[in-house]
Structure 1
Amino acid sequence: MTTKRRKTPVWLAIAGQIRGDIAEGRYRPGDRMPTEAALSARFGVNRHTVRHALAHLTEEGLVRTRRGAGTFVADTPTDYPIGGRVRFHKNLLAAGRSPEKRILQIETRAAAAGEARALGLEAGEPVCSYHGLSFADGQPIALFESIFPETRLPGIAQALQHTRGVTQALDLLGVTDYVRISTRLTAVLADATQAMHLHLREGDPLLRSTGINVTDDGQPVEFGRTVFAGDRVTLILGDGAEDS
């Protein structure tokens, strides 16, 4: 009796060929993959079959989809130290990545109770809230909010608008050095807004960091909350800190 050989599904064979292309360096980490239409033409199949193959590779972690941008070969996660004095730009440059910040909003508002406690203020005192996105090699890796005491740092909002980050802004205001005195790390799932900004799916894993920075005389100057894309960053506990 002859036993029939089970045929490999076409979508699985396509996934295997794309996996081979990546392994052989035809597509490198961060490269944009050909469109579904281009892959359909290459393999002589419909888009649904290609989509099935790409979904399989996404589950394996070999490729990532970015909403409205396409499918990309997964990057190697960026090493990101958390500790005392290493800042955002230094962290990424040391990892061989190109750093970039994008301002989403800078506003003056009343401090919430938890923010006031962290900054040594009375609830309701004015603070500067700085929302932004951090990028490595053009890919969003973190969404942050930094809170500053307005009365202690007059002009901080304007300084943030005209500099590339917190360190330079504080330096303009006479704060030449500051250190991280506490960091709290928590695993969370992306909500719809976070997913949109970080080009993830709602429910994807994030790492949330909450920390307080102080001057050398112990005065709090920043209370920061950052969520990192869980598959794009490796947080390293040591002599470093994220400067938003």
Structure 2
Amino acid sequence: MRNTGTALWLSIASDLRDDLSEGRYGPGDKLPTEAQLAERFGVNRHTIRHALSALVEDGLVRTRRGAGVFVTARPTEYPIGKRVRFTENLLKAGRMPAKRTLSLEIRLATDGEARALGIALGDPVLAYHGLSLADGQPVALAESVFPLERLSGLEHALREADSVTLALKKIGVADYTRASTRVTAVLANATQALHLHLREGDPLLRTTSVNVDQDHLPVEYGRTWFAGDRVTLTLEA
């Protein structure tokens, strides 16, 4: 039996802290539901809620309405410089990178895309949409637009490589660098929230960028939406 001189919620909060410190639940993991914890500790859900509130105040967990309680993930340091490579950035930060292709489509360039890529309005472009993960947790949604006539064979290369860097190398673009980057704070829409396991309206960091090849010709116009609490963007000279 528990020490009756200690408030039950304090004792439960202490036990849950032990669970976290011993690695039973890692960064980004979802804790059991209030009902499951109430059954485990033999108390009512109000007591569990009180204990979880203490962990929230300590910054150990965060709640997501309708989703549950999650262990606070350590934000990933993500450098933004002339050479931005997702896999390299994540590995340097000690995280395991992964990417998932959501869609690939050929369509006509919009006005903004045409200006960014130095092509004519309505020229064909290849649009790539993907989800980036760190240690299995989604951290960013990306949209990359490529000038199709300038990059023949890219669609096939992307379907094979599932990596922009490798796909560009396959069609003869040995290297590319970042020509410009703009960072904006935005709120997640319903689709973004679904992919990133967030709530609609949660904060995102959006980067808008143009990458150029060794001849300084634009090869990629990209926008990336980072989960605001999972990534720390750092600007490199």
TM-score bucket (shorter structure): 0.7 to 0.9
Shift of 1:154: 1.3
1:107 is aligned to 105
- Of the three residues 19, 22, 47, the one matched with 2:20 is 22
1:18-58 deviation per Cα after TM superposition (whole angstroms, max 9, x unaligned): 34543565544344423433311122223465356546645
In structure 2, what is the Cα distance between the partners aligned to 1:147 and 1:9?
A: 57
Does the 8 Å CA contact 2:101/2:162 hold for their aligned counterparts? no
Does the 8 Å CA contact 2:184/2:206 hold for their aligned counterparts? yes
Report the CA distance shift for 1:216/1:24 in structure 2 as closer, same or farther (over 3 A): same
Tell me if 1:175 matches 2:173.
Answer: yes
In structure 1, what is the Cα distance between the partners aligned to 2:162 and 2:105?
A: 17
2:137 is aligned to 139
Report the CA distance shift for 1:57/1:111 in structure 2 as closer, same or farther (over 3 A): farther
1:193-213 deviation per Cα after TM superposition (whole angstroms, max 9, x unaligned): 111110011111110000000
RMSD (CA atoms)? 2.7
Does the 8 Å CA contact 2:125/2:148 hold for their aligned counterparts? yes
Count of residue pairs the alignment pairs up: 233
Does the 8 Å CA contact 1:67/1:200 hold for their aligned counterparts? no
Give 2:102's aligned amino acid. Answer: L
Higher RCO (C-alpha 8 Å, min separation 6): 1
In structure 2, what is the Cα distance between the partners aligned to 1:43 and 1:224?
A: 49
Report the CA distance shift for 1:201/1:57 in structure 2 as closer, same or farther (over 3 A): farther
2:38 is aligned to 40
2:196 is aligned to 198
Structure 1 portions without partners, runs of 5+: 1-7, 240-244
Shift of 1:227: 0.5
Normalized against structure 2, the TM-score is what? Answer: 0.87
Give 1:107's aligned amino acid. Answer: E
Shift of 1:9: 8.3
Structure 2 portions without partners, runs of 5+: 1-5
Shift of 1:160: 0.9
Shift of 1:14: 4.2
Normalized against structure 1, the TM-score is what? Answer: 0.84
Does the 8 Å CA contact 1:75/1:232 hold for their aligned counterparts? yes
